Amino acid sequence: MTGEPITILYVEDDPAHAEIAMRNFKNSRIANRIFHVTDGQQALDYLFRQGDFENPDTSPRPHLMLLDLRLPKVDGLEVMKRIKADPEFSDLPVVILTTSEAESDIIKAYSYQASSYLVKPLDFSKFNELLEAFGFYWLMWNIYPR
């Protein structure tokens, strides 16, 4: 995927966190397309092309998903469980980006094949640092299958 934009599905219900992340990726000039949804049901609808997300031209399959855990309608762990049980999405890298440091959440996330588990720092500048490091690693250095 080097040099090509990648598609990211960003699942985040907190508007402030979403705005910080989207602005950070834009300011870092990281070539990508980000599709933001605000709850777990929208994430499932997007991935399985249901409802408002039926059209693959406007809802392309993501190369990477950023997933919060504490979501309305369907929580992030349930989203992970459902998509990783489907062969079409078993290889989709999912990075958990959450405020939860609960050991049980970390264990469940990795048991559902999370690619990474990142805890959002409460400090604004630390959150920006985390997102910048994430951007460089996942979007610049990591290699995706074609």
Helices 103-111 & 76-84 angle (0-180, nearest 10): 20
Q: How far apart are CA 115 and CA 109, in angstroms?
A: 9
Judge residue 58's burial from the number of C-beta atoms within 10 Å of its C-beta, 0-12 exposed, 13-18 middle, 19 or more buried.
Answer: exposed
CB 131 within 8 A of CB 139: no
pLDDT value at 7 more than 90: no
- Specify the pLDDT at position 144: 61
3-state secondary structure of 107: helix
- Specify the pLDDT at position 1: 42
Q: How far apart are CA 17 and CA 125, in angstroms?
A: 12
- Specify the pLDDT at position 33: 85
Q: How far apart are CA 144 and CA 75, in angstroms?
A: 27
Helices 76-84 & 40-47 angle (0-180, nearest 10): 20
Query: Over the stretch 94-107, which tens digit does the pLDDT of each residue have?
Result: 999 999 999 999 99
Q: What percent of the chain has pLDDT over 90?
A: 60
Closest CA to 11 of 65, 64, 62: 65
Query: Superfamily for 6-141?
Result: Response regulator (3.40.50.2300)
What is the H or E stretch that residue 8 is in? strand 6-11
pLDDT value at 137 more than 50: yes
Query: Over the stretch 33-86, which tens digit does the pLDDT of each residue have?
Result: 889 999 999 999 999 999 999 999 999 999 899 999 999 999 999 999 999 999
pLDDT value at 139 more than 80: no
